[in-house]
Amino acid sequence: MNSFRPEQILFEDNHLIGINKRAGQLVQGDKTGDACLADEIKAFLKVKYNKPGNVFCGVIHRLDRPTSGIVMFAKTSKALERMNAQFREKQTDKSYLALVQGKLSKGESIRHDLKKNESKNKSFVVDPGKGKEARLSYKPIKQFDSYTLVEVNLETGRHHQIRCQLAHIGHPLRGDLKYGAKRSNDDGSICLHAAKLEFSHPITKEKLTLEAPLPNTKSWIQ
């Protein structure tokens, strides 16, 4: 069900491949031993281009398993190194769409200190100075009876940052039981989607913008 399909490709050239990840897909292998996108893309590229030997597919960044949206992989080591530097130095612009509980009528910038609890795989808001600074801004896009669709822009990249911060102000993501949602989504997803990514091509330096459509699932359809 969650295996990689070619129609998920948003962008591909000799150096990069961008994927619209579905909720539930792993970006990189973990202790579950489940199939991951990095390995599936390697296998896909090997067949598509009839490549002998090993195929390179470097993980540039990650999304949580229940999150959907844009994920970039590098097809060469040079592209991986340069893209990693862009993400590390915050030279990329990322925006997310989130469906949150309750009604939000205006946008806001929020700041908290977050601390990750490794055993629970969960982040918590802590007193100032006792965690890592987390900043984001959001603005409402559309309101429904019990939910609001918001656009979120990250200024920092902390563990579960969007999930934790929006829950802390009383608006957990739909389906996100870990952070206080009323109920789970039928497909195990949370309503968080990496919708847009702007970056410079690691080789040509061209400015690129990728956009991923929202999942066509009933969790997102009101």
- pLDDT score of 192: 98
Our answer to whether residue 64 is catalytic in this structure is yes
Distance CA 199, CA 10 (A): 14
Contact indicator for 80, 58 with CB cutoff of 8 Å: yes
Distance CA 147, CA 181 (A): 11
Please state the rounded mean pLDDT for residues 70-74: 98
Please state the rounded mean pLDDT for residues 74-91: 96
Three-class SS state of 217: coil
Contact indicator for 134, 161 with CB cutoff of 8 Å: yes
CATH of domain 6-211: 3.30.2350.10
Q: pTM of the prediction?
A: 0.93
**pLDDT, mean over the chain:** 95
Instruction: Give me the residue spans of the domains in the chain.
Output: 6-211
For the stretch 40-63, pLDDT in tens is: 999 999 999 999 888 999 999 999
φ, ψ (nearest 5 deg) of residue 3: -75, 155
Percent of the chain past pLDDT 90, that is, above it, reads: 88
Structure letter (DSSP) for residue 177: G
Catalytic residue among 64, 93, 186, 187: 64
Residue 84 host element (H or E): helix 77-88
For the stretch 31-40, pLDDT in tens is: 888 889 999 9
